[in-house]
Every structure is written in C-alpha cells, then in structure tokens.
Amino acid sequence: MNEIDLSLYLVTDNSEDVGKFLNTIEEAIKGGTTVVQLREKTADTLDFYNLALKVKEITTKYNVPLIINDRVDVALAIDADGVHVGQSDMPCDVTRRLIGEDKILGVSASTVDEAKKAQKDGADYIGTGAVFPTATKKDAEKVTKRELKEIVDSIDIPVVAIGGITLENAHELTDTGIKGFSVVSAIMSSENPKKSSEELLKIFNS
C-alpha cells in the first residue's frame, strides 16, 4: 500500500482565475495542506492537462502529492502521484491496472460495501461523504457520523471525510477514526488559505 499523509486533503474547485487559483493552492500548502486533488469537471482535456502541469510545479516544489480527479489519462500524461475515482468513474480495479502499483489510488465510497470493494480492488484510501451539507457537489450522498465510523471500522485502509467541512464543524469529526479532513470551499474560498489550512490542521491534530 502507498503511504500518504491525508491529514489535510485539498480538493480544488473551478479555476477561472488561474493566477489566483494557483496562489491559493500554494498558500494552502504553506499552511500545511498535505495532499492536493485537482478536480476539473468541465475543462477540456488540453486545458486540464495544461493546468495540471502548473499545479504539479507547485506540489513538486513542496513535495506534496498531486492527485488527479477521475482522469486517468491526464494523471498519466503529467506523471501525477495518483488518481481519485468515484463510483461512476473508471472501476477501481481497472484504474489500478492502468496506473500501476506505485501510484496512489483513492476511491469515493459512501457505504461499507463500497469501501470494502474499493479496498479489495486496490484502493490506497477512501474518501467518504458528504458528512455535512455541501454546495460544491450537488449529487453527494449524505453520510452520518455513525455511518462514517462504520466505514472506518470496516476496512484497513485510511478514510478521509469530505463534504461541507469548515472551521466551525470540523471538530465534530475528530473522534471518528478518520485520517484526514478533505475540504474544498474552506480553503479555496478563504480570504487567507494559509491561515485556514493551519487552523484546520490544528483541529485535526487535536
């Protein structure tokens, strides 16, 4: 299994202002963000590829893993550290075959069965949510705190919680056994992404 520090896992949102977008990612890493997942649901392949190269420059500089959401081709093209797939994306076992054993593979799972299958099929970690209401992913399944704990207890690979996690509610998850907070808006929409990262990390490590 690929070891990875998932404590503060940043998932990006839209990148209309590329300069600001890249600056936000860099500031978040300076504040302690441990993983960056590049998610571009609407970008053309070439735009996604070019943006991924720019993000990779930053993550490489700080030695932080870069995970590409969904797009195995883009991940392989830029030699990203890994891929994250959902339940409606490329199947986990097929993704593992395509990216090889050395790349990180994350899978979204909102039930114990999905999590167990992902582990069996070669996932390195699970993303579970939405643990709180979220505006960034309209179709996200709601996962209760009890269900989150059940998923954590049912598998041997680490779990990160995602969905509406903020500085105000993150502390509610610290006793669930998760290995990290996965956030979008709490950092990407922050006036001070570095400080937000520092504070989220402080909550997680408490």
Residues labelled catalytic: 39, 108, 137
| Dihedral (CA of 168, 173, 178, 179) sign | positive
Backbone angles phi, psi at 29, to 5 degrees: -65, -40
Nearest to 2 by CA among 81, 123, 104: 104
Distance CA 155, CA 117 (A): 10
In the chain, the amino acid numbered 133 is: P
Distance CA 95, CA 76 (A): 11
Largest CA distance in the chain: 42
- Structure tokens, 113: 């069965």
Backbone angles phi, psi at 86, to 5 degrees: -100, -175
